[in-house]
Amino acid sequence: MGRDQLSWWQVLLSTLAAAFGVQSEAARRRDFAQGRPGVFIVAGVVFTLLFILVLVLIVRVVLAQAGG
pTM of the model: 0.79
Q: DSSP letters of 7-49?
A: PHHHHHHHHHHHHTT---HHHHHHHHHH--HHHHHHHHHHHHH
Q: Which residues of 40-52 are buried (b: 16+ CB within 10 A; e: fewer)?
A: beebeeeeeeeee
Grade residue 4 by pLDDT with cuts at 50, 70 and 90.
confident
**61 pLDDT higher than 60:** yes
pLDDT over 70 percentage in the chain: 94
